[in-house]
């Protein structure tokens, strides 16, 4: 399998989560070996996607530098990860990605509209050679060597709707679309009220998140999956792993992980070449992984 980009430029306008203002997102193809490059059109600022570009993980994954930032990239990047896109220019005219419906489903539709195109040059992936883990108390994120690419996430919230729930999935474009992409982000009403009081989360609504009070889901339509919360955490994890610029052949697992821990995991992973190797997909013996992008 060769490297991938999109066939045609495509764009969409959506609301930014924090400013509550319209954000235009445009995707353009890039040539082989160019990687994923974000571009702030309003600042004429390019931000290549690498773990070193991450500047904040408190409420979302944020990349940038002293000249400007782009927030909430993880939902979009999960779709890029699932579709196996290697080279792409991501243009926004503000400091955040549009939140869309709080999941990755709209970004999947956008990539479908653009079409996926193979390029010259073999697709390269990161193959995990040694187990690596980042912990914060009982919370952890971990990557283990495996001939299969899998994601296994468990969360435990003291809330009657969430509680302890898990989701396991084998990586692939089709499983992502069917099992993960529609899972929405979630937030508690009391937290949203505070954030809006300090001019954050101004675009948050029940149209782009699962809202929760102390004992129930506030969205009239309810949940899309019984364990939608755990599924969304896998969505976030895929997006955060895409910050490495590559798909990963290995087993990801987590208990109560976060953007912060995911970022620390990617930094720790790439800090030591004993942890991984970059190989062409052609060299991978796992047929299941090679076929997962179909």
pTM summary value: 0.96
Q: What angle do CA 114, 102, 48 make, to 5 degrees?
A: 55
Alpha-carbon distance of 289 to 291, in angstroms, equals 5
CA 73 from chain centre, in angstroms, equals 7
**What is the tens place of the pLDDT at every residue in 188-239?**
988 888 888 887 788 999 999 999 999 999 999 999 999 999 999 999 999 9
User: For the CA atoms of the chain, what is the radius of gyration?
Assistant: 18
User: Hey, do 2-123 and 125-291 end up sharing a CATH topology, with the first three levels equal?
Assistant: no
From 4-18, 76-90, 130-144, 271-285, the region with the lowest mean pLDDT: 271-285
pLDDT tens digits, 37-50:
999 999 999 999 99
Q: Quick check: 286 pLDDT over 90?
A: no
Task: For residues 126-154, give the mean pLDDT.
Answer: 97
**Residue 194: its pLDDT value, please?**
83
pLDDT score of 66 more than 90: yes
Between 201 and 168, residue with greater pLDDT: 168
Q: Structural domain boundaries of the chain?
A: 2-123, 125-291
For the question of residue 259 being annotated catalytic, the response is yes
Rounded to the nearest integer, the mean pLDDT of the chain is: 95
The residue annotated as part of the active site, out of 18, 75, 232, 259, is: 259
In the CATH scheme, what is the code of domain 2-123? 3.30.230.20
Domain 125-291, what fold?
A: lpxc deacetylase, domain 1 (3.30.1700)
């Amino acid at each position: 399998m060769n490297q991938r980009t999109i066939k045609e430029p495509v764009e969409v306008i959506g609301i930014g989560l924090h400013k509550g203002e319209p954000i235009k997102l445009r995707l353009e193809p890039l040539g082989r070996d160019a990687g994923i490059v974000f571009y702030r059109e309003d600042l004429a600022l390019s931000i290549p996607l690498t773990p070193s570009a991450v500047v904040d993980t408190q409420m979302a994954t944020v990349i940038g530098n002293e000249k400007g930032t782009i927030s909430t990239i993880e939902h979009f990047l999960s779709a890029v990860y699932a579709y196996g896109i290697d080279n792409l220019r991501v243009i926004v005219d503000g400091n955040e990605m549009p939140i869309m419906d709080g999941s990755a489903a709209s970004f999947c539709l956008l990539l479908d509209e653009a079409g996926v195109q193979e390029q010259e040059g073999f697709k390269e992936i990161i193959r995990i050679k040694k187990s690596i883990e980042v912990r914060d108390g009982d919370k952890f994120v971990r990557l283990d060597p495996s001939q299969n690419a899998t994601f296994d996430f468990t969360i435990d919230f003291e809330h009657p709707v969430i509680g302890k729930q898990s989701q396991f999935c084998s990586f692939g474009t089709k499983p992502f679309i069917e099992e993960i992409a529609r899972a929405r982000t979630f937030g508690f009403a009391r937290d949203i009220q505070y954030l809006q009081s300090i001019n954050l989360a101004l675009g948050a609504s029940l149209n782009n998140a699962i809202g929760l009070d102390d004992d129930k889901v506030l969205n009239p339509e309810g949940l899309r999956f019984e364990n939608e919360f755990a599924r969304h955490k896998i969505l976030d994890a895929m997006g955060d792993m895409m910050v490495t610029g590559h798909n990963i052949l290995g087993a990801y697992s987590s208990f109560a992980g976060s953007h912060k821990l995911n970022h620390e995991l990617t930094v720790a992973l790439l800090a030591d070449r004993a942890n991984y190797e970059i190989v062409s997909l052609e060299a991978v013996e796992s047929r299941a992984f090679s076929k997962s992008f179909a």
